[in-house]
């Protein structure tokens, strides 16, 4: 059984969706949730599923503390699901092509520092975009620049608001993120 660690900073709806999805499979399991936010709702969601939670500071992430905890678990995949800090190079170097992220826009558009959540949805509405979507990509040392694994688009209308865009994106995330995680794990299986 493959081991997944999920990193999240906020409400944890994607993290919980991934936990539930893999609880029904024999492929993998979420074995731990890591968060940099001691008051994040993801902590409660993880505990409701008996998933251990690691809470850490930005300094612990940048030093070796978090890397050591990850190495103790020895995950097959690290999944960033609404994790807002830049991922440190020492972890990326140890786990090449084993860290993936979901971004609520069609990269390379609307990516980079400060581009997350409602900031993106507002920018998309303000720019009168005809579509948006999700990007699932490998994590490298730059925000939102790792190789793209999967993208799915959704049409927008003139009536869309940042809130309705957020709802459309959330539906895509809930449907596709666990499936793509499974595909990445199965692909890494076939390479070993």
Total residues found in the chain within this entry: 192
Q: Is 132 annotated as a binding residue?
A: no
Q: Is 14 annotated as a binding residue?
A: yes
What pLDDT was estimated at residue 188?
A: 77
Neighbours of 11 (CB within 10 A): 14
> By CB neighbour count within 10 A (0-12 exposed, 13-18 middle, 19+ buried), where does 76 fall?
buried
Phi, psi of 3 (to 5 degrees): -110, 130
Active-site residues, by number, are: 103
Give the chain's mean pLDDT. 95
Q: Is 12 annotated as a binding residue?
A: yes
pLDDT in tens, 160-189: 999 999 999 999 999 999 999 999 999 877
Q: Is 35 annotated as a binding residue?
A: no
- Calpha distance 33→75 (Å, rounded): 12
What pLDDT was estimated at residue 113?
A: 87
**DSSP letter (8 states) at residue 108:** T
pLDDT in tens, 59-101: 999 998 999 999 999 999 999 999 989 999 999 999 999 999 9
Q: Is pTM, for the whole model, over 0.85?
A: yes
């Amino acid at each position: 059984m493959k081991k997944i660690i999920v990193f999240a900073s906020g409400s944890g709806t994607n993290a919980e969706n991934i936990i539930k999805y893999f609880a029904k499979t024999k492929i993998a399991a979420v074995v731990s949730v890591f968060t940099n936010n001691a008051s994040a709702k993801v902590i409660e969601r993880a505990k409701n599923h008996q998933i251990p939670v690691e809470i850490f500071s930005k300094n612990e992430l940048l030093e070796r503390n978090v890397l050591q905890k990850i190495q103790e678990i020895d995950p097959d995949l690290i999944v960033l699901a609404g994790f807002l800090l830049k991922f440190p190079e020492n972890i990326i170097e140890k786990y090449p092509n084993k860290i993936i992220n979901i971004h609520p826009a069609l990269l390379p558009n609307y990516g980079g520092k400060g581009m997350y959540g409602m900031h993106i949805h507002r920018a998309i509405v303000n720019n009168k975009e005809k579509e948006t979507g999700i990007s699932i990509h490998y994590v490298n040392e730059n925000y939102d620049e790792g190789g793209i694994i999967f993208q799915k688009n959704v049409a927008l209308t003139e009536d869309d608001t940042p809130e309705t865009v957020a709802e459309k994106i959330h539906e895509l995330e809930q449907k596709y993120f666990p499936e793509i995680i499974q595909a990445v794990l199965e692909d890494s299986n076939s390479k070993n």
